[in-house]
Amino acid sequence: MEKRRIGRTDLLVSKICLGSMTWGEQNTEAEGHAQMDLAFARGVNFIDTAELYPIPPKAETQGRTESIIGTWVKSRKNRADVVLASKVVGRTANDWFRGGRPSKLVRADIFDAIEKSLKKLQTDYLDIYQIHWPERPIPWGSNPTRAGPPSEAGGPDDETPIAETLAVFDELVKAGKIRHVGLSNESSWGVMRFLAESERGVGPRVASLQNAYSLANRTFEVNLAEVCRREDVGFLAYSPLAQGYLTGKYDHGALPKGSRKQLFDRLQRYEKPNALEVYLEYNTLARSFGIEPALFANAFVTQSPLVTSNIIGATSIPQLEMALDSADVEWTTEMQDAVDAVHQRVGNPCP
């Protein structure tokens, strides 16, 4: 599988990254191991996880996903062959991450998070350590299609300065616990502020950005895409299937047993007005090219010149095989023109 360089680093990663957020909830340890075995046999060398996982986040399951990856890496004895990325939570009132208190992007909390992650993952270091979401109060995903009231733009008096957070990551790099720093669910302003602080000598340079990107959410394009291209920041795209809506399985109101929506009903980010009609149009378009919607939607992301690596997710081996197949799809000009024509009319219904 084609490998692509992340930013200015020496990390060469497969153009598909294996997401892991279902392992420990919808998937067992054995199923997680089977997914990793298959993905690596197909040329994937990149795994993304988080201290938060599995999803949905709960105190009783938090950290299971990292533990599943850790037992796989230990049993396969392949740590040197794996590019491993995890994440520290941003500001949260959920107290189970830090033993009974809220968490922020301050030194004590970041050190607590990395030590726990390294122990669960059974490794001495992470290749990329990402901030899961910003500490400042901004809309989830950081790239809404409409601005909220001005009051939402302000932050609490105790908001941790970006320079302070970045300095902690500098300690982690110098201690050999992480190799590179990444951001997630971040805005153009946020990425540039982190870069500006590192240019002032405060800490390590941001290597990657992980934001949502799909047919239903192309908000990364233009502003963030220009930042990443001009500043040499790798783009790691998540949610290429819009949490399953771009597979076609929910078309016409269907609710498959065992699906994420049926189990948890927490897909509200992808259930905005007119979204169902948009999914149906893209899924129908995929079939007009003779391609399954899930394969088509993943190929749109995997083959994009804007994307360093597409973070795929699956709860079954057949789903994983189809996602991996997106690496071999020839994404044609005709396909791009067709999705651009739809996008011109419908925009980004689910940012």
Residue 5 to residue 28: CA distance in whole angstroms: 32
Instruction: Write the DSSP symbol of residue 242.
Output: G
Residue with tokens 């189970």: 96
Catalytic residue among 53, 245, 270, 279: 53
Name which of 138, 130, 132 is nearest 155 in CA terms. Answer: 138
**Is 279 designated active site?**
no
The three-class DSSP label of residue 225 is helix
Peptide bond into 305 cis (omega under 30): no
* Partner residues linked to 46 by β-bridges: 83
Among candidates 247, 243, 313, 239, which has minimal Cα distance to 271? 243
Helix (H, G, I), strand (E, B) or coil at 175: coil
| Amino acid present at 94 | N
Taking the C-alpha atoms of residue 1 and residue 302, their distance in angstroms, rounded to an integer, is 11
Which H or E run contains 197? helix 188-199
Residues 51, 88 contacting (CB under 8 angstroms): yes
* Catalytic residue list: 53
